[in-house]
Structure formats: structure tokens, C-alpha cells
Amino acid sequence: MSESSGGNKSSAGNPVPSVIYHASRIILGALFIIASIDKIERPWDFGRAIYVYEMLKGSLAYLISPLAIIIPPIELVTGLLLIINRWVRPSALLILGMNVVFIIAIAGVIVRGMDIDCGCGLDVGPIAAIAGTQADMGALLRDFVILALNLIVLFAPQSKGK
């Protein structure tokens, strides 16, 4: 199997231009690293954020604390792996799973008319200025953009074998 020449042009066998693949991979990785940092430092706040979404009720509520501890390191490791261009597809698959859950959670909040903080960890600098910090249509749009980046990375031929 030969590697692509690394150019920006696409060909019939390589429909994702290299620059798009690498930019998507790096942006996606950076977003998940940024999102993980505050959650790793303050897992109790992330646990509270999970709780207010009201998705884990009754007998499932016991999952909140373990998820608040487990999810942030997974975000950090998958983000780092994307940045260094290793284990790209497994990392992108994990991120896809998390991203789908985030989209479902935010959509549920919107449908129920709740006014809560997104708890996403992306409430820093220009990222917060662009999409805000509330679990609202801005956060949902942001998560769909993240989903698009993820799908580019996951299905780009460049990620095969990485």
C-alpha cells in the first residue's frame, strides 16, 4: 500500500484532499483535548453537568460519577492520538460515539425547554464566543460541525491503517 503524496489535490482513489483531512484531524483533536482539561481538573462539576441533563435517572444515576471520571481522559487520549496521527480510526470512532451522545443530550434539553450550561468544556476563549456555553441551538450546531469533522477523519482514506 502506498502513502499519498501529501499534496492538496484529490484523486479518484483519494476523495478527501490531504489539507482537509489533516486540518479536520488536528481541529477535532484539539477540541477534544480542550474539552477534557477542565473536566479532568474538576470531575465533580462535570458529574453535575451530566446530572442536570436528566438522561441518567433512577437506577442509571449510579453511572454519573464513573462517567464523569472516565469520559474526560478518553477525550484527552483520543484528541492526542488524532493530533499525532496515530490510531486515528479507533479514536475517531470513540469520538463519534461521544459526539452522538452529546447531540442527543443537547437535542433533548432543547425539546424539553431546559436552560442549562452545556458542560462541554468548550467554554473557553473564542470557542465560547462562537457557540456559547448553554445547551441550546448554538451548542447543537457546534456539535454537528464537530460531527462533520469527525466523519471526514473517520472515512478519509488517509486514516486507513493509522
71-88 per-position pLDDT tens digit = 999 999 999 999 999 999
Confidence of residue 13 (pLDDT cuts 50, 70, 90): low
- Residue carrying the nine cell digits 465533580: 44
Question: Are 80 and 32 contacting, i.e. CB atoms less than 8 angstroms apart?
Answer: no
Domain membership of residue 58 (yes or no) is no
Prediction pTM value: 0.86
> What b/e string do you get for 37-71 counting C-beta neighbours within 10 Å, with b at 16 or more?
ebbbeebeebbebbbebebeeeeeeeebeeebeeb
Secondary structure of residue 11 in the 3-state scheme: strand
Q: What is the pLDDT of residues 96-113, one digit of tens each?
A: 999 999 999 999 999 999
Domain membership of residue 124 (yes or no) is yes
Q: Which three cell numbers stand for residue 153?
A: 477523519
Range of the structural domain that residue 135 is part of: 18-51+63-159
The least confident of 34-38, 52-56, 120-124, 128-132 is 128-132
Domain count for the chain: 1
Cα 3 from chain centre? 27
Domain membership of residue 69 (yes or no) is yes
Mean pLDDT of 45-66: 96
Domain membership of residue 3 (yes or no) is no
